[in-house]
Structure formats: structure tokens, C-alpha cells
């Protein structure tokens, strides 16, 4: 028996040695290739900072070596003296093992990567994550089985056709959800947009990113609306990231606006004596209308200090000297209407004491005293930091600006505007608050004043960002 074996080995040593050498060569080359390949992949993933890189390497390192061994065994069998039948049989067996190993590795890799990204979406239910992962597992298992059946010569055309139809139906039915999920994965992978980033969309909407879910992004606008944008739409639009979160105010700034109604009092003056007599006794709302409302109504024509009394004295009575004196009364120098009234009365009385002026206004040019009735209304706009404040300031009406700048001085009796008080008390931005407080609103139109405040705030934010 021993002689028979030795004789067979002696006659077939070449047929045994060559396949063995081929298989051993594959082992050596596989070890070298795996070492070089994965060293290169580690370097690439480190440079790109892809979080899934470590998962890819850990999942495929050992299977890659097994695949090389399978390929080596297949090659060794092909160069062996075995009959074509056995070569085909062993080739199919090794091919089946390769398909099973590759399918299992891909399933594990997909599962781990999906867990990595889907866990970031806190709003995504655990059941949904399981359904997504199991659905992909089933799809890869079906593909692997079909390939194996085809490898063994079993017709897979009907199965492939059925699977393809079912897959197309599922993709068509859930196409929007699928796009949103994969777009969400891309957003999570790139980390370009994060919660609390301030963004501006191509369509003009802007605000803070309040939530990122598996299929949508929520943006809170300055007027406290919530925009819910599908991830697939978000990733296709142009998004400008204006910056990271700024210091939050201890109390948000609520923007108000006001409307006023004119009401005739029935009182009128034909000369200075009647003017000063009526002026002493009228309601504060009358004085307010002819001074503060006058500035707002004509600010685009005369951004310098002025009032109705100065204009009437100058035009109707022709007294340029007194008209100039009344125009020089700084309306915003006074924190109360009473103080402003006294100053106007003093200027007129001083002029009457110097000369008794009996000039009468022409018929139809009398000074008609008008009352201002104001209605204060809250807006939807609320600012929690400087960025929201400046963006809202671009959008609010001039009535809102007038209320917070001009009327604030009378409401607060502090000679300062609402903006400066909020910046100082709620944000601790004393320097910026002082810069806005010292602005002389009389030297600007309301639009000019808006632009100046925005410019001051933006420069301050740029300076703070440079320091940070």
C-alpha cells in the first residue's frame, strides 16, 4: 500500500506541487496586499475625516484576506490535474462561499454605518431604524441568493423579474421618503449644518436650525415661525450659513409697532397770542401730534428738528425769526411732553414780550389743533441675540422703528431708546448700547437711522467674531 502511494506521488508530484505553490503564493501576496491596501485606506480616511472609515476597515479587514484565500484556492484547483467535472464542482463551491461571505460582510457594514448616522436623528423612532436596516438586509440576502442560484445553473429570470418589479414599486411608493433619508444621511455625514446654526435659504427665509431629523430640517424664523423643510429639498437649495450661535439675551426683545389716528379738536389760532393761550391748556396728545408726529410725517423732507408750530409761524405769519427759534427747539431733548410744551410757550412769550405782534394769519390759514390717538400693537418679531435683532430690524416697518426710538424717550423718561436699554440690560453690550444711544435721530431720515443702527450692530458682531 505504501509503495502504491509513493508511486502515485512520484508520478503526480508536479500536479500536486504546482497547485500548492500557487495557493501559498496567493497567501503571501494577500498578506502583502492587505497590509499596503489598508495602510493606504487608513491614511485616506484620516485625511477625509470620514467617521465611517474605521467601521469600513474593521468590518472588511479579515474578510478581505478570506476572499484572497478563496481566490487562491480557485486558481489552485484550475491548475490542478483534476477532471473538468471536479474543477467545476469545487469552483462553484468556492464561488458560493465567496458570495455568502461578501453578502454577510456588506450587510454588517451597511448596518454599522446606518447605526452611526441614524442615531444622530433623535426624532427617528427605534422601530423605524430597525425597519430600514432589516429592509436593506433582506434586499442584499435576496441578491446574494439569486447570484448563487445563477452560479449553479438554476434559472433566476422569473425571480429576478419579480424582485425587480417589487423593488421598483417600493422605490416609487416611497421615493420621497427614501430621498429624504439619504439626504439626511449626507447632511449628518458632512456636518455642514448643525443645530443652532443661523442659515439663510436661497428663497429668502432665514433663521436658526432648531432641529435636524431623519427626513426634515426645522428652521425657527425671527418671527417665531417654524419652517419644516424636507432634507432632499434642503440639500438641493443654496444655503448660506451666517454663523454659529451668538450670546443669548437674558430676556428677548419684542418688537412693537403703533398706529395713530388724527382727531380735530375744533380749536384754532389766528395769531401768536391765541396760539400760546391754547397751547398752554391743550391735552398732551395735541402737543405730541404737532411735534413728534410732525417729524415722522415729514422726516423724508426735513430730517432736521422741526415742528408744526415753527412751520405755521414761518409760512402763515411770515415771522422768519420766531419760526427759526421754534424750529431750533430740540423735541427729543425733553423726556416729557409737559417740559416740551413749557419750552415752546416760553419761546413764544419771549417773542411777544419784545414786540407785540398783531399779525393775523390769512383766512383759511389758521393753525388747527389736532389730537393724536395712538394704538400700540405687538408684532410677531422677537430677537434673542444680535443676529436676530439686526435681521428683524431690516424687515420691520418705520412705525416700529419710530416707536422704539422716538416714543421710547417719552415712555421711559430716560432720554434713551428701547434698543439701547435691551442691549445694555439683557445682552450686556454696553458699548454698542451707548453708540446707538448717542445717535441724534433728528439728523437722519428714518431709513437712514435704520441703516446706521444696522451698520453699528454688524460692525460690533464682526469685531466680536474677530476677537473670538
Cα(67)–Cα(97) distance, integer angstroms:
9
Cα(15)–Cα(392) distance, integer angstroms:
85
What is the CA angle 85-91-95, rounded to 5? 150
pLDDT digit of tens for each residue in the chain (468 aa)? 555 655 555 555 566 777 788 888 888 888 888 888 888 888 888 887 777 788 888 888 888 888 888 888 888 888 887 788 888 888 888 888 888 888 888 888 888 887 777 666 554 556 556 666 677 777 777 777 777 777 777 776 666 666 667 666 766 666 666 677 677 767 766 677 777 777 878 777 778 888 877 678 888 877 678 888 887 787 777 777 666 657 788 899 999 998 878 888 999 999 998 999 999 999 888 988 888 776 666 654 444 547 889 989 888 888 888 888 888 887 777 778 888 899 999 988 988 888 766 788 888 899 999 998 878 889 989 988 888 899 899 989 888 998 898 777 776 666 688 999 999 999 999 999 999 988 877 678 888 889 999 999 988 887 765 554
- Residues sharing a CB contact under 8 Å with residue 455, sequence separation 6 or more, in sequence order: none
Q: What are the grid coordinates assigned to 270, written together?
A: 389766528
Domain ranges for the chain, please list them.
2-173, 190-243, 253-467
Cα(46)–Cα(55) distance, integer angstroms:
13
- Residues sharing a CB contact under 8 Å with residue 9, sequence separation 6 or more, in sequence order: 16
Residue 4's pLDDT is 60
CATH of domain 190-243: 2.30.30.60
Residue 109's pLDDT is 86
Residue 298's pLDDT is 61
382-415 pLDDT, tens digit per residue, is 988 888 899 899 989 888 998 898 777 776 666 6
Contact (Cβ atoms closer than 8 angstroms) between residue 367 and residue 275: yes
Cα(356)–Cα(346) distance, integer angstroms:
15
Residue 239 pairs with which residues in a beta bridge?
201
182-204 pLDDT, tens digit per residue, is 777 677 666 777 777 778 787 77
Residue 126's pLDDT is 60
Alpha helices in 294-428 (DSSP H): 294-298, 308-315, 320-327, 337-354, 386-395, 398-402, 408-412, 418-425
Amino acid at each position: 500500500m505504501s509503495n502504491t502511494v509513493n508511486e502515485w506521488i512520484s508520478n503526480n508530484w508536479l500536479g500536486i506541487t504546482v497547485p500548492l505553490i500557487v495557493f501559498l503564493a496567493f497567501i503571501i501576496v494577500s498578506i502583502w496586499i492587505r497590509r499596503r491596501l489598508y495602510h493606504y485606506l487608513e491614511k485616506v480616511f484620516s485625511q477625509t475625516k470620514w467617521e465611517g472609515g474605521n467601521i469600513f476597515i474593521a468590518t472588511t479587514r479579515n474578510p478581505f484576506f478570506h476572499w484572497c484565500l478563496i481566490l487562491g484556492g480557485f486558481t489552485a484547483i484550475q491548475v490542478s490535474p483534476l477532471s473538468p467535472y471536479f474543477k467545476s464542482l469545487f469552483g462553484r463551491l468556492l464561488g458560493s462561499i465567496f458570495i455568502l461571505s461578501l453578502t454577510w460582510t456588506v450587510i454588517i457594514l451597511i448596518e454599522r454605518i446606518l447605526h452611526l448616522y441614524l442615531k444622530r436623528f433623535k426624532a427617528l423612532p427605534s422601530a423605524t431604524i430597525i425597519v430600514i436596516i432589516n429592509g436593506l438586509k433582506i434586499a442584499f440576502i435576496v441578491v446574494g441568493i439569486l447570484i448563487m442560484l445563477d452560479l449553479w445553473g438554476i434559472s433566476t429570470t422569473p425571480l429576478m423579474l419579480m424582485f425587480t418589479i417589487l423593488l421598483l414599486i417600493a422605490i416609487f411608493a416611497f421615493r420621497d421618503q427614501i430621498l429624504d433619508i439619504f439626504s439626511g444621511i449626507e447632511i449628518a455625514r458632512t456636518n455642514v449644518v448643525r443645530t443652532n446654526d443661523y442659515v439663510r435659504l436661497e428663497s429668502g427665509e432665514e433663521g436658526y436650525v432648531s432641529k435636524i431629523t431623519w427626513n426634515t430640517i426645522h428652521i425657527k424664523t425671527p418671527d417665531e415661525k417654524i419652517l419644516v423643510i424636507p432634507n432632499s429639498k434642503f440639500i438641493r437649495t443654496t444655503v448660506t450659513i451666517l454663523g454659529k450661535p451668538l450670546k443669548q439675551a437674558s430676556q428677548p426683545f419684542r418688537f412693537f409697532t403703533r398706529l395713530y389716528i388724527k382727531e380735530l379738536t375744533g380749536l384754532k389760532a389766528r395769531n401768536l397770542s391765541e396760539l400760546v393761550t391754547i397751547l398752554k391748556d391743550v391735552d398732551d396728545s395735541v402737543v405730541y401730534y404737532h411735534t413728534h408726529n410732525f417729524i415722522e410725517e415729514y422726516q423724508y423732507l426735513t430730517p432736521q428738528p422741526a415742528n408744526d408750530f415753527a412751520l405755521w409761524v414761518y409760512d402763515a405769519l411770515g415771522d422768519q425769526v420766531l419760526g427759526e427759534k421754534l424750529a431750533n427747539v430740540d423735541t427729543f431733548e425733553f423726556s416729557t411732553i409737559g417740559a416740551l410744551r413749557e419750552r415752546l410757550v416760553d419761546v413764544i412769550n419771549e417773542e411777544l414780550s419784545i414786540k407785540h405782534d398783531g399779525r393775523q394769519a390769512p383766512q383759511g390759514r389758521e393753525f388747527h389743533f389736532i389730537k393724536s390717538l395712538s394704538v400700540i400693537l405687538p408684532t410677531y418679531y422677537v430677537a434673542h441675540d444680535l443676529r436676530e435683532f439686526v435681521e428683524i430690524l431690516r424687515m420691520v416697518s418705520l412705525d416700529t422703528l419710530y416707536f422704539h426710538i422716538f416714543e421710547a424717550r417719552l415712555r421711559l423718561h430716560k432720554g434713551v431708546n428701547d434698543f439701547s436699554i435691551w442691549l445694555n440690560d439683557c445682552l450686556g453690550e454696553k458699548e454698542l448700547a451707548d453708540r446707538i444711544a448717542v445717535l441724534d435721530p433728528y439728523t437722519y431720515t428714518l431709513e437712514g437711522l435704520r441703516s446706521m443702527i444696522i451698520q453699528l450692530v454688524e460692525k460690533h458682531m464682526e469685531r466680536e467674531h474677530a476677537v473670538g
